[in-house]
Amino acid sequence: MQFNLIKTDGSARRGEVIANHSTIQTPAFMPVGTQATVKSLTAEEVKSTGAEIILNNSYHLYLRPGLELIKKAGGLHKFQNWDKSILTDSGGYQIFSLSSLHKITEDGLKFKSHIDGSIHFMSPEIAIETQSAYGADIFMSLDQPIPYGATLKKATEATELTHRWAKRGFDVYDKSTGQALLGIVQGGFDGELRKYSAETLSVINFPGYAIGGLSVGEPKEVMWEMLPIVTKVLPQTKVRYLMGVGTPTDLVRGVMNGVDIFDCVLPTRMGRNNTAFTSLGRLNMLNSKYTEDFLPLDPNCGCTTCKNYTRAYLRHLLKSKEILGVRALSYHNIFYYQNLMKNIRQSIESNTFKRFAKDYLSFGDENGL
């Protein structure tokens, strides 16, 4: 993988990631395809929104359908008919948040499947070997997530373990495949520990870096305090990925702080919960005021949903529990996110990002974005 930094505007960065299956224009947003599918949408539909990379979740795929079946299918790209890039996460966060039993040792994580209760073990080496075998373009080191509210002692211990696991994973990473391994910065919510983690991982010289352990229940202002501490330390020539963030305004603030890539389940989750992100703000499409509203969902949007369906029709579908309703909103929301990233990239290219960000945040914070 290669990252080219093309232009900067303040701390905002315009670049491109050249990966095995596609060149990704950054700043970029990755739709989340947890179980090898972006919920309710086909690969062709996701691609038509402008997405150049999606995220798959290693924990879920490891448990079901399993590595052997994916290998027999020819890898993740063929399995889900996605011919652009794929990023997989290591599964560490899901092991901590979903499994009902886990034991942390120096060797790795012992955990209980949330599906059938079976016992499994994940080491830093297994995490890398599994993701590589999936055929992912970009994959992640195994880390120990740190919950908001953890003591400094606990956060320090978890961060040091993450560093040791990162080095072990890097040592078995096969660079000849063209796949890219990202180290994950931890550090909890202590500024010095965050800085130390970024400095320590930078020495290992990963192809890129992820910023983990944010958006885990902390107040937003705490996240925005931690983020620039990390991005000021990470190498300028390497891609930066902020994991699991977030709302449209989060993406703008992240770019303001030097982030290149984002992912979040929010666009499809909100679509499944009858909500659309639009140029007019966040809309709850079950609201009765849309019953006889025959305008497009978003008059300023060029997506298939907005070109073809009215608010009244979409509300009818959602009230009737028709799957087309949530599909149409999910498609629109992902298109909205991709268009937002396109506008951000254009503003950086024209040296107008600061004005763009100020205007967008002023509007977005008032209108639920």
**Annotation says 260 is catalytic:** no
Choose, from 9, 143, 263, 298, the residue flagged as catalytic: 263
Choose, from 89, 137, 143, 298, the residue flagged as catalytic: 89
**Annotation says 171 is catalytic:** no
**Among candidate residues 120, 116, 143, 1, the one with its CA nearest the CA of residue 67:** 120
Tally of CB atoms within 10 A around 69? 11
Question: Catalytic residues, which ones?
Answer: 89, 263
